[in-house]
Amino acid sequence: MHSIGYHLIWCPKYRHPVLVGAVEIELKRILAETCIAYDWELEALEIMPDHVHLFLQADHLTAPVTIAKTLKSISAVHLFNKFPKLKARKFWGSGLWSRGTYYASVGHISEEAIRQYIETQKDRE
């Protein structure tokens, strides 16, 4: 059995602070359900108004870029369907997420440090 931990961070386009309220709640649900569907173990998740922090465990055959693309594409479709005004107001003619994603594998710092960092994001504002 293989399991690799990844810390992923990504932002909405133009870093619009739209991941609040009902959008934040729905995004957490979508990301958790997607991780279950793909057999990725979600360890920690925090949604900030303008970015997402996620720590998960995946098998060694799944590239981190594939994980990020999957989570970003599925969540964008769901959020735009559930919140059509979101697309019309801020993201007309484009997708929800910026192209970039931060990737780090767990190893050079401890899992606990990553978990604590993600879980205390809102305390840093």
Residue type present at position 67: I
pLDDT band at 124 (very low <50, low <70, confident <90, very high): confident
Q: Are the beta carbons of 91 and 82 closer than 8 angstroms? A: no
Q: Which tens digits make up the pLDDT trace of 15-35?
A: 999 999 999 999 999 999 999
Q: Which tens digits make up the pLDDT trace of 49-86?
A: 999 999 999 999 999 999 999 999 999 999 999 999 88
Domain 4-124 CATH (choose: 3.30.70.3270, 3.30.70.1290, 3.30.1360.150, 3.30.450.20): 3.30.70.1290
pLDDT band at 1 (very low <50, low <70, confident <90, very high): low
The span from the CA of 83 to the CA of 101, in Å, is: 23
Share of the chain above pLDDT 90, in %: 71
Would you list the domain boundaries of the chain?
A: 4-124
Highest mean pLDDT among 38-42, 104-108, 121-125: 38-42
3-state SS string for 20-74 = CHHHHHHHHHHHHHHHHHCCCEEEEEEEECCEEEEEEEECCCCCHHHHHHHHHHH
- Identify the pLDDT of residue 125: 66
Residue 2 has pLDDT above 70, yes or no: no
- Identify the pLDDT of residue 73: 97
Catalytic amino acids? 117
